Amino acid sequence: MKRLATAAALAFLSSACATTAQPDEKLLPPVDYVTTLMGTQSDYSLSTGNTYPAIALPWGMNFWTPQTGRMGDGWTYTYGAHTIRGFKQTHQPSPWINDYGQFSLMPVRGRDKLDEESRQSWFSHQSETAKPYYYSVYLADHDVKAEIAPTDRAAVMRFTFPESDESGVVIDAFDRGSRIGMADDRTIVGYTSRNSGGVPDNFRNWFVVRFDTPFTAVELTDRPGRYEPGRNMLCPDGSKSVEGEHAVAKVHFSTARGQQITARVASSFISEEQAFQNLRELGEGGFDSVRMRAEARWNEVLGAIEVSGGTLDQYRTFYSCLYRSVLFPRKFYEVTASGEIVHYSPYNGEVLPGYMYTDTGFWDTFRALFPLLNLVYPSVNAEIQAGLANAWRESGFLPEWASPGHRGCMVGNNSASVVSDAILKGITPEEDVAALYEAMLSGREKVHPEVSSTGRLGHEYYNTLGYVPYDVKINENVARTLEYAYDDWCIAQVAAKLGRSEDAAKLEKAAQNYRNVFDPGTKLMRGRNADGTFQSPFSPYKWGDAFTEGNSWHYTWSVFHDVEGLAGLMGGGKEFSKMLDSVFVVPPIYDDSYYGVRIHEITEMQVANMGNYAHGNQPAQHMIYLYDYAGEPWKAQWWAREVMDRLYAARPDGYCGDEDNGQTSAWYVFSALGFYPVCPGSGEYAIGSPLFRKATIRRDTGAEIVIEAPANGPQMRYIGGVTLDGEPWTRNYLPWSDLADGAVVRFAMQAEPNTGRGTQPDDAPYSYSRRQCR
């Protein structure tokens, strides 16, 4: 306790010195606090987010971003770059997954500007405005100002040109198969088939670009790197297209200085005709009309959570994180001229009725992102769940990493968590519940024939031995075992809700399989061979091998559904707490021999200076809140505030690792509100330390959850007491059942820990071993 108190005092002094602004009650609209550049100062070796500035609507089908990287580079925009090569329509969820269905526009001045090297231009962040609903930048080499404003499936671009008879816009359909042509003297059409996997053979992204000014000429080529300018010049009334490896068009204008030319752009995964239909999203108004509608939509979505009583930096970080939390998964459905909702299936290549969402990895996002949707935006997750049911019907599997179809990435069967939590909270459309339950059961006993991360790799061993063995050539076997056990618990909860008692009993028994990879000698999770012996030699600092992007110190705590059971294996609550303390005490040493190189997640753990705690990667992100289960909630409060204060900021280097489709951001959003969903499916949120004096959550059901902490401040990170709807509340969790229809939670904050509150066994959040699903 002395060590903790001393650390708390040092943290207070550090925070007090760093905080230059007093709480500011003159609040701006929430989108005005957002910086889309948060996390963009990243590269292959060190991630501070691995994000790009997405110009989009919440959950929009198409995003746009300035492109500083070369074609095909997953690091499409990096803050340290000096040149822009184009403005790209992107569907990229992560640089590691890369992009699909992308093409770009680039305004230029000059004759030889068709390929990405010759058309690139220097720019400065000093002449760049990056907001969710609007982006602008000055392209110095072309003397052009470029602006973008989005809708769900379309965008409008405005280019302000200099006086020149060599002004133009290059439309690049990218390589690996594309087509581009002129529909009329103002309109370019085409398709791109570029992708990074997870698509059927007939995949296309059809696009239309309609200008408000007639072309003076058009150039077309399928070999931009070897093209001679002017060789294939067309008259404005000509009709021609090119189709091949890499189709590019350049449209020409003769411009006066300050002349603005607008391009209206849309795309479709269904057809060229549907791309024209999607273009109608822009309406009849001009650029400013689209921009204002996009701004209003962002304020509507971000305004679902209103915070006050913080500093300007805290507002910026909070709303920048909330922005990232409502980008993915993205819509993959379209609306026909008759208003029918349809989607091109990334699973079987057909055009089918109904919803579809994509671009998310459940290994990351089951932890906090989907619980955030259930809490704040349940109507959105209802559509996502309907889309998951469609994915099951169209492919025979629930996705684990979708972009846009099944992708081979990560481990686990965490679609079970995402699906179960929504069903248990009554969010899933009733007509899809039976199909999704069947899908979860099916996924327990098979693996996708082409994508081994979909379904359950090693299910034969897991369902017979009770674990995935270390010595059967299935990598990351302990991680799989732990996640499968939690996923079985999730399915069991749905089985019980549906009255499937036999299924529930079988699944609850399987949910105890985490015990089979616990080594009592080290009190850590450890690889286990098929004959029952533990793998040897064993190092708790070894990354990968039996674990996924982490080591045993990180993965041992992945027993979300039975923390008390895990504590029992360790020798009880006190020993559990001591082991948890050790994660922050042991130095950030590591063994990278499994990878043969120090992966960026290791570096991010080291530089965070929190021992072996690795907040930059998802397996560790719930660990802080486990102190609530051990009767020491003040430690959870201290560490939650410490991570928020030190590891997040609304800057280009503002994350401490990969942001990963909203998960790392959703951790901050929940933690700033004062609670966190350690175990999705349990209906409980572990309490931490609220960041603001007041927060109001306006669920899209109409219910309001008000969180008050009137004495809050940088030095007041500990909870002295809590009331829930005016009644004293001693528990270390908040129940979903008390929040769903609206509630008032009031925290009494103080500078010193209250070591007498939340220490009784009944104060702990749900654990299966206590069999108290409240």
Rounded-to-integer distance, Cα 749 and Cα 759, Å: 18
Residue 747 sits in a domain of what CATH number? 3.30.2080.10
Rounded-to-integer distance, Cα 706 and Cα 725, Å: 10
Tell me the CB-side half-sphere exposure of residue 457, using CA atoms within 13 A: 21
- C-alpha closest to that of 93 among 344, 302, 365, 374: 365
> What would the two tokens of residue 183 be?
């529909």
For 30-68, the pLDDT digits (tens) are 999 999 999 999 999 999 999 999 999 999 999 999 999
Residues 665 and 722 occupy one common structural domain: yes
Is residue 60, in this structure, part of any structural domain at all? yes
Is residue 574 within 8 Å of residue 580, measured between CB atoms? Answer: no
Angle among Cα 136, 50, 278 to the nearest 5 degrees reads: 50
- For residue 211, CA distances in Å to 109, 208, 289 come to 17, 10, 17
Residue 402's pLDDT is 98
Question: Looking at the predicted structure, is the pLDDT value of residue 288 above 70?
Answer: yes
Rounded-to-integer distance, Cα 139 and Cα 146, Å: 7
- Residue 378's pLDDT band (cuts 50, 70, 90): very high
**Helix, strand or coil, per DSSP, at residue 214:** coil
Residue 199's pLDDT is 97
Is residue 108 within 8 Å of residue 90, measured between CB atoms? Answer: no
DSSP labels, 215-226: -SEEEEES-GGG
Rounded-to-integer distance, Cα 279 and Cα 129, Å: 25
Residue 772's pLDDT is 53
Rounded-to-integer distance, Cα 356 and Cα 383, Å: 8
User: Which single residue is written with the structure tokens 């509150």?
Assistant: 757
Is residue 669 within 8 Å of residue 678, measured between CB atoms? Answer: no
Which residues does 714 contact at the CB level (< 8 Å), separation at least 6?
A: 12, 15, 16, 19, 645
Residue 5's pLDDT is 35
Residues 86 and 217 occupy one common structural domain: yes
Residues 136 and 10 occupy one common structural domain: no
Question: Looking at the predicted structure, is the pLDDT value of residue 469 above 90?
Answer: yes
Rounded-to-integer distance, Cα 623 and Cα 539, Å: 20
User: Which single residue is written with the structure tokens 């051990």?
Assistant: 630
Q: Which helix (H) or strand (E) holds 675?
A: strand 675-676
* CA diameter of the chain: 82
- C-alpha closest to that of 313 among 605, 749, 15: 15
User: Which single residue is written with the structure tokens 């297209």?
Assistant: 241
- Residue 771's pLDDT band (cuts 50, 70, 90): confident
Residues 29 and 119 occupy one common structural domain: no
Is residue 341, in this structure, part of any structural domain at all? no
Residue 774's pLDDT is 47
> What would the two tokens of residue 470 be?
């270390």
Is residue 715, in this structure, part of any structural domain at all? yes
> What would the two tokens of residue 548 be?
């996924």
Residues 80 and 218 occupy one common structural domain: yes
Residues 741 and 768 occupy one common structural domain: yes
Rounded-to-integer distance, Cα 389 and Cα 257, Å: 54
Under DSSP, the state recorded for 306 is: E
Is residue 361, in this structure, part of any structural domain at all? no
- C-alpha closest to that of 768 among 667, 681, 658: 681
**Least confident interval from 238-242, 725-729, 743-747, 748-752:** 238-242
Rounded-to-integer distance, Cα 193 and Cα 178, Å: 6
For 571-624, the pLDDT digits (tens) are 999 999 999 999 999 999 999 999 999 999 999 999 999 999 999 999 999 999
Rounded-to-integer distance, Cα 347 and Cα 345, Å: 5
- C-alpha closest to that of 551 among 652, 460, 626, 476: 476
Residues 10 and 156 occupy one common structural domain: no
Under DSSP, the state recorded for 646 is: H
Region 181-190: what's the mean pLDDT? Answer: 96
- C-alpha closest to that of 235 among 190, 166, 188, 184: 184
Residues 25 and 74 occupy one common structural domain: no
Which residues does 427 contact at the CB level (< 8 Å), separation at least 6?
A: 374, 378, 381, 382, 385
- Residue 232's pLDDT band (cuts 50, 70, 90): low
Between strands 154-160 and 164-172, the pairing is: unpaired
- Residue 18's pLDDT band (cuts 50, 70, 90): very low
For 539-566, the pLDDT digits (tens) are 999 999 999 999 999 999 999 999 999 9
**Helix, strand or coil, per DSSP, at residue 596:** coil
Residue 16's pLDDT is 35
Which residues does 612 contact at the CB level (< 8 Å), separation at least 6?
A: 541, 551, 553, 554, 583, 584, 586, 587, 588, 589, 605
For 691-701, the pLDDT digits (tens) are 999 999 999 99
Is residue 439 within 8 Å of residue 392, measured between CB atoms? Answer: yes
Is residue 741, in this structure, part of any structural domain at all? yes
CA Rg, the chain, in Å? 26
Region 146-162: what's the mean pLDDT? Answer: 98
DSSP labels, 66-89: EE-SPTT-S----TT--EE-EEEE
Rounded-to-integer distance, Cα 546 and Cα 471, Å: 10
| Residues 369/490/403/316 CA torsion (nearest 10 deg) | 0
Q: Which string of b and e fits 127-151 if b means at least 16 CB within 10 Å?
A: eeebbbbbbbbbbebbbbbbbbbbb
Between strands 684-687 and 83-84, the pairing is: unpaired
Is residue 407 within 8 Å of residue 731, measured between CB atoms? Answer: no
- C-alpha closest to that of 707 among 322, 334, 335, 310: 310
Region 100-124: what's the mean pLDDT? Answer: 96
Can you list the alpha helix ranges (DSSP code H) found in 556-632?
Answer: 563-570, 573-585, 600-608
**Helix, strand or coil, per DSSP, at residue 771:** coil
Question: Looking at the predicted structure, is the pLDDT value of residue 291 above 80?
Answer: yes
- Residue 224's pLDDT band (cuts 50, 70, 90): confident
Is residue 559 within 8 Å of residue 566, measured between CB atoms? Answer: yes
Split into its structural domains, the chain has a count of 2
For 617-631, the pLDDT digits (tens) are 999 999 999 999 999
| Amino acid identity for residue 558 in this structure | S
| Amino acid identity for residue 427 in this structure | I
Residues 211 and 69 occupy one common structural domain: yes
Can you list the alpha helix ranges (DSSP code H) found in 622-713?
Answer: 633-647, 663-673
In sequence order, the β-bridge partners of residue 402 are: 360, 406
Structural domain boundaries enclosing 742: 1-33+307-332+651-774
Which residues does 660 contact at the CB level (< 8 Å), separation at least 6?
A: 50, 94, 361, 364, 365, 618
Is residue 545, in this structure, part of any structural domain at all? no
Region 704-719: what's the mean pLDDT? Answer: 97
Is residue 152 within 8 Å of residue 281, measured between CB atoms? Answer: yes
Between strands 704-708 and 743-750, the pairing is: parallel
Rounded-to-integer distance, Cα 354 and Cα 333, Å: 8
Q: Given 3-state DSSP classes, what are the helix, strand and coil percentages for the chain, each rounded to the nearest 5?
A: 30, 20, 45
Is residue 629, in this structure, part of any structural domain at all? no
Residue count of the chain = 774
Residues 72 and 135 occupy one common structural domain: yes
Residues 244 and 96 occupy one common structural domain: yes
pTM of the model: 0.95
Tell me the CB-side half-sphere exposure of residue 502, using CA atoms within 13 A: 0
Rounded-to-integer distance, Cα 446 and Cα 457, Å: 7
In a 10 Å sphere around its CB, with 0-12 CB exposed, 13-18 middle and 19+ buried, how is residue 611 labelled? middle
Question: Looking at the predicted structure, is the pLDDT value of residue 238 above 70?
Answer: no
Mean residue pLDDT of the chain comes to 94
Q: Which helix (H) or strand (E) holds 317?
A: helix 312-325
Residue 2's pLDDT is 32
User: Which single residue is written with the structure tokens 């379904």?
Assistant: 455
- Residue 225's pLDDT band (cuts 50, 70, 90): confident
Which residues does 203 contact at the CB level (< 8 Å), separation at least 6?
A: 100, 101, 193, 195, 269, 346, 349
Q: Is the dihedral of CA 564, 510, 680, 774 positive or negative?
A: negative
Is residue 642, in this structure, part of any structural domain at all? no
- Residue 23's pLDDT band (cuts 50, 70, 90): very low
Which residues does 32 contact at the CB level (< 8 Å), separation at least 6?
A: none
Is residue 683 within 8 Å of residue 736, measured between CB atoms? Answer: yes
Residue 58 sits in a domain of what CATH number? 2.70.98.10
DSSP labels, 233-250: EE-TT---EEEESS-EEE
Question: Looking at the predicted structure, is the pLDDT value of residue 20 above 50?
Answer: no
Rounded-to-integer distance, Cα 330 and Cα 153, Å: 11
Residues 55 and 29 occupy one common structural domain: no
